[in-house]
Structure 1
């Protein structure tokens, strides 16, 4: 069974928990490849609450000068966080539509050329559509929409990140339209790869299309390892949440299969690892060294998985129930691990101070 740590004991046990150590933590998924604790990355120090009272934080990105930007899903605000200061609103994105489902202001990414162009990218829902836009930080210039397409009121995906190749990647849920996930001409149920100006990126598997991979139900996490391999987290429906190794043009099976579905004909690409849907609810993911970190919503836990040259080792679960639902996990430029909670969105019970942003310092440093 997984580890349960009482809140007053967090500082004592944080280094052990976040070291990727698998001791006393049985795997919660199959199939996996067994791995010893020595294959995990270095650990992290004690927890520090960076900000509290945030209205459902979702996207996170780090600015070159050391500040952090956070999106608030339900208000449409982008907040700037500086060490030791209260978060400051820097922009309210217009026309953000927060339906009964899981839309709103979601992903956030910083331009790879930020020192020159000062651009911040955002992913958000409007009535009947998804938009990806950009705006210059500390400016009154309007948000420039670089991509817009029709979308339903649920399964919005929302993660937005620049990849090692300088292209912009976006995870798009199927909008509760299962057939869309299997239609390469439809942008729903896909991972998209576009240029910083919003055009289909050169080298995409379907000429003239922004689609990078398809057959997805709802994805909220993407990350790359040191070798440039891309991983994505995906919510299942009744049986299996997934972590996938993403290959261009591959079909990941939804809605024909959930979890393991390749029968040997090569039509679908199987996940690297699956979790029972009640134990994970994988949202944001991040890579530090040779460990993949997964923020769990439904499971209210942080999951660590050793990276084994494109395969995944034995998952371990940490912080179970300590902070409630975890939405986003990111590794800061200084090596610290950041987490956000998602307890004020109407699922789960808010705690005093929610929602919060938590930082775990690199081991041995404050």
Structure 2
């Protein structure tokens, strides 16, 4: 009796959390499915942004590219520069105009020519990302999304409890879809069977997704693995002697050459031009490619005023918490094991989205379908 009462309570929790958060989960799941193949889809539909339109024997220097951008767009301020080890990819530049409009410039690394200049925030996949994380509403959207993700995790647990059959002889019914049954039965089977199969993968997606919604989740991760909260970089404590990268004005080519000599491995480079109240810094991130561990990044900080190296942070010096935190993104998106895990995450996202639809019809048929039949009989 107590067991039946417990399941009734769980069903109520499952029902009301599903009705209240299901639409948000549906939107997040579908947008997440698209984002699983963002690079391939964006390159296919916007090749002029990602693929060089002309090749030569050697690439143009970064200083020359920066000069080309400043000449063509004197009102632009470069904030980030992306260089890829793949010879078939363009360089990407994120810049701000004086009106604070963020632009994305695609530069041919072989000719130095600007292939495309687009509004960064108006790009399709940026819209999809904002929908996925913030429901297109900054601040409030992030909170709603985070709460809905918490509800989703509870839905997975409660759904599993409801799924458990009373007797083992009914187990087969819970694992298969009876396609030759009525529409209601097929809908029920789809919700139960598909929901069961994706539970472990959906749970991983939900747990990792909380990191972007709540600071306490990220802080908890650092506490678990490091025993302390996330640490900020202390530039006052000098672990290395200051070393000049180049004389003023700073050369991006010299910075790249110095970074490659410090971090002697194949990888993608990302220049971030940071502004602070104390000093202007250039942050260079080098992400190693061709490694089993994804998101393996080493970092270098350089003073934009003096050209001195402020901090060298190789990946091996990262704490366990930092390494685990960097694994969250590839786990969440499925890039951790390449195509197989990406396809798995995409299928899981589609199934999760379908659970809202099948679950809604289970509720609707139970509460309104029967009433409609009864009313017809009364007439």
Rg comparison, structure with higher value: 2
TM-score, structure 1 normalization: 0.28
Where is the strand percentage greater, Structure 1 or Structure 2? 1
TM-score, structure 2 normalization: 0.27
